[in-house]
Amino acid sequence: MAIRDRIRVLIDVGSGSTLEEVVEATKEGGAVETHRADGLTYITETAKNGMARRTVTVADARVVAIIEEPDRARKEQDRATEP
């Protein structure tokens, strides 16, 4: 995913409640990546040089949903709502 793209993760925190974590590619050349390994889900914002800027780590059992929102979709939605 590219600049201004984002990934939202819904996390089960118990008692039927969820917590939403949002990781967005904020800098030019940055990206957001999702990786699953060893029972964990990692969502990482990376810089242009490939270094991790921010990482959210969640146990797979707690992940309710992972929602990828490309910037292109938001632009199309904005054009559709213009008068």
Q: Residues 6 or more apart from 42 whose CB is under 8 A from it? A: 34, 35, 36, 55, 56, 57
At residue 77 the predicted structure's pLDDT band, cuts being 50, 70 and 90, is low
Q: What share of the chain is helix, strand, coil (3-state, %, to 5)?
A: 15, 55, 30
**């699953």: which residue's tokens?**
36
Question: Over the stretch 26-75, which tens digit does the pLDDT of each residue have?
Answer: 877 788 889 999 999 999 998 888 889 899 999 999 999 999 988 765 56
- pTM (two decimals): 0.74
d(CA 13, CA 42): 17
In this structure, what DSSP letter does residue 49 have?
A: T
